[in-house]
Structure 1
Amino acid sequence: MAAPGRPKQKARSGAKDVAQLAGVSTATVSRVLNNSQQVDPETRRRVLEASAKLRYVPHGAARSLRSHRSKMVGAIVPSFDYALYARTTSALHQRLDEQGYALVLAEHHYDLAAETRIASQLVEHGVDAFVLVGLDHEQALFTLLEDYGRPYVLTWGVDPAQRHPSIGFDNQAATYQAGRHLIELGHRRIGLLSAPVAGNDRARARGEGLRLALAEHGLVLDPAHVAHAPISLAAAQAAMESLLQLPEPPTAVVATNDVFAVGAMLACRKAGIDVPGRMSITGVDNTDLGATQTPGLTSVATPVTQLGRAAAEQLVARLEGATWDAFQLYPVELVCRGSTAPPPV
């Protein structure tokens, strides 16, 4: 796709428009939006409602507005606690830096309303373009970025409807491969360790990948064999312990990332359950954390660093009027190690 330059911006509402709609002065608008306490609650309410209706974002970076270029790119990720997002943003930063751009980082903790609010703040400070994670976002976020002519790209997934530029891989295919591998080994009772799915399309897709693999073999995922937890070793270990305490636990578990998988291995070790003799475990992302376990973790390799570099290259091309590819889908690959084997007789 060729971009003739920076996306055409719609005429923006100004402080005067907000003041007129709210029936106040521009000075009052300024006081409200700067959180001054010298405004009565009713006036504050009218100003905020008018601002929201007009989608007004005050711009503090005047020089950036005049030049239409700050050479800053904002990346809003779900959480800095997840190491894989750090790897993507590190690759993003390195590629942007090589091309003379700076990276601004923020996190929204899987709160999509917070993501929209943060993006508005970054627009106010003149950020040129945005890198977002996943496919789940508020429509208000897309409206904001389009209204202010800010290019954006979704990462860690590719929009199946091709509504939004995106660079990623098939999250469903990752756990489909892991599930099919376990079924081919002979497992029929397969569990799932996953992050919560609210606001997290990656977790939903990875759960669906396992369900699809099971369905193709006439099997179903028992709801009792599904455990959700925050992404941490301790939470993953506790979730796996809950599965091990079932009257009829699974003989294998698909974890939706390597953190969950290693937490599951820790739970088995604590309970004296041999991996893979009595329990097979797979992960996703093929990290050093899993590869260096004993036994080594069977996991699905995902292109997390490639995503960061590709996102940087796409946005810089769009900002500078070069040719760019709106949709890039990278492959995933199952890496078999010692954590999987046929089920016990």
Structure 2
Amino acid sequence: MKPIHSKPLDRRAESASGRARAVGIRAVAKAAGVSTATVSRSLNNPASVSPELRAKISTIIEEIGYIPDASARALSSRRTRTIGAIVPTVDNAMFAQGLQALQSHLATKDYLLLLATNEYDLDVELKQARNLVSRGIDGLILRGDKRHPDLRRLLQGQSIPYVNVGVYDPTKPYASIGVDNAAAGRRITRHLMDLGHRRVGIVAAMQRNNDRAQARLRGVLEELALHDATPPEAWMLQVNYNLDDARQAARTLLSQRDQPTAIVCGNDVIAYGVMMEALKMGLAVPDDVSVVGFDDLEWSRHFSPSLTTIHMPTDEIWLRAGEYLVDTLAGEPALLHREIDFSLVVRESTAPPRTG
């Protein structure tokens, strides 16, 4: 008789083909001494089982390496626990920061984040939304409020809740979480007016399909008009969110015989480029020209000179968007519109204009 050799219990069963089969829910139920229905309730509706039993089942799942079948859970609950988000680009520190805050929050609620980009193209955004819907997202986060008309019809027809981030508009019937961008534009410009500047140039972000940039520019121009300081057309430029374009815009403004004493930039990245080019041209910031931005990115306080800007609470905006969708999907009350406060951060890049 051949000796019998014992071996450790393998956590996977062998199929007829010899391939390992993943641990199933029955193995969890057997180890816990409960039914598979109880395990399912613990996973899909934790409040329906006692905390002690839920902890026991969770421990067993960790020990035997069980991974719930997402498609099966979706069939039983009609939810995939997946949130989609569409942003213009990931090549922007502000978007990256917000998405990280969103991802961290969703992870605590056992939700997965699916990300897509649209490059400020409404047709591309519609296509990306259709792709996300086809993959079974439960909710969607969108940047701003410029939409293809078919997109809202798609989401409403599929009963998918969505929220616009970065904007606040309580007049709309759909959710928004963000700041009053026009008010932010007025506030940063009022700072320059208070310092005595009346010759102000503008390097705005591209306005196409970007209602946040449009609102900021509108606020800037409204405040300048109040002080009889509306700039000439030659002092109002639009660029993409990158350093090269911003530096070119600064050369255009500061090479003119008639120069502004201050420049309002569409965001901090644009402001970095403007300051770099001004310094390269032998101008001192802020002695020769003051520069301001928006967003208060991390580098803004480390730049030399440090940048005066509008602080946008990006983390809070995206976290609140995640909270809104999770609460809505759970059938809990959620604020349809939430305004987040911005603040002026005065640093070294602004000063009164030179006399004479």
Whole-angstrom distance in 2 between the partners of 1:214 and 1:313? 38
2:300 aligned residue (287, 290, 293): 290
State the percentage of identical aligned residues: 38
Match of 1:336 in 2: 346
Whole-angstrom distance in 2 between the partners of 1:243 and 1:204? 21
Residue 132, structure 1, aligned to residue 147, structure 2: no
Residue 116, structure 1, aligned to residue 146, structure 2: no
Residue 244, structure 1, aligned to residue 232, structure 2: no
- The amino acid that maps onto 1:203 is A
1:94 aligned residue (84, 94, 104): 104
CA deviation after TM superposition for structure 1 residue 295, in Å: 1.4
Tell me, yes or no, if the aligned pair for 1:168 and 1:328 is still in contact at 8 Å: yes
Of stretches 200-209 and 214-223 in structure 1, the one that deviates more from structure 2 is: 214-223
Match of 1:281 in 2: 291
Residue 85, structure 1, aligned to residue 95, structure 2: yes
Match of 1:325 in 2: 335
Tell me, yes or no, if the aligned pair for 2:170 and 2:176 is still in contact at 8 Å: no
Tell me, yes or no, if the aligned pair for 2:190 and 2:223 is still in contact at 8 Å: yes
SS in structure 1 of the partner of residue 317 of structure 2: helix
Residue 224, structure 1, aligned to residue 234, structure 2: yes
Whole-angstrom distance in 2 between the partners of 1:265 and 1:288? 16
Instruction: Give the unaligned 5+ runs of structure 1.
Output: 1-60
CA deviation after TM superposition for structure 1 residue 109, in Å: 0.2
Instruction: Give the unaligned 5+ runs of structure 2.
Output: 1-70
TM-score (norm 2): 0.78
Match of 1:187 in 2: 197
Whole-angstrom distance in 2 between the partners of 1:121 and 1:105? 11
Match of 2:269 in 1: 259
CA deviation after TM superposition for structure 1 residue 209, in Å: 1.1
CA deviation after TM superposition for structure 1 residue 162, in Å: 2.3
SS in structure 1 of the partner of residue 113 of structure 2: strand
Match of 2:156 in 1: 146
CA deviation after TM superposition for structure 1 residue 66, in Å: 6.0
Tell me, yes or no, if the aligned pair for 1:154 and 1:165 is still in contact at 8 Å: yes
Whole-angstrom distance in 1 between the partners of 2:72 and 2:231? 56
Of stretches 273-282 and 133-142 in structure 1, the one that deviates more from structure 2 is: 133-142
- The amino acid that maps onto 2:105 is R
TM-score (norm 1): 0.80
* Runs of 4+ that moved beyond 3 A: 61-67
SS in structure 2 of the partner of residue 194 of structure 1: strand
User: Within 5 Å, which residues of 2 pair with 1:289-308?
Assistant: 289-308=299-318
CA deviation after TM superposition for structure 1 residue 160, in Å: 4.5
Whole-angstrom distance in 2 between the partners of 1:65 and 1:264? 54
Whole-angstrom distance in 2 between the partners of 1:288 and 1:114? 30
Of stretches 237-246 and 108-117 in structure 1, the one that deviates more from structure 2 is: 237-246
Match of 2:209 in 1: 199
SS in structure 2 of the partner of residue 300 of structure 1: strand
Tell me, yes or no, if the aligned pair for 1:262 and 1:289 is still in contact at 8 Å: no
Whole-angstrom distance in 2 between the partners of 1:65 and 1:184? 61
1:130-153 Cα shifts (integer Å, max 9, x gaps): 000011111211100000010000
Whole-angstrom distance in 2 between the partners of 1:160 and 1:218? 31
CA deviation after TM superposition for structure 1 residue 189, in Å: 1.0
- The amino acid that maps onto 2:126 is T
Aligned residues: 285
CA deviation after TM superposition for structure 1 residue 327, in Å: 0.4
Greater relative contact order (Cα 8 A, min sep 6): structure 1 or 2? 1
Tell me, yes or no, if the aligned pair for 1:135 and 1:159 is still in contact at 8 Å: no
1:71-94 Cα shifts (integer Å, max 9, x gaps): 000000011111101111111111
1:196-234 Cα shifts (integer Å, max 9, x gaps): 101000110111111111111122132211111111112
SS in structure 1 of the partner of residue 156 of structure 2: helix
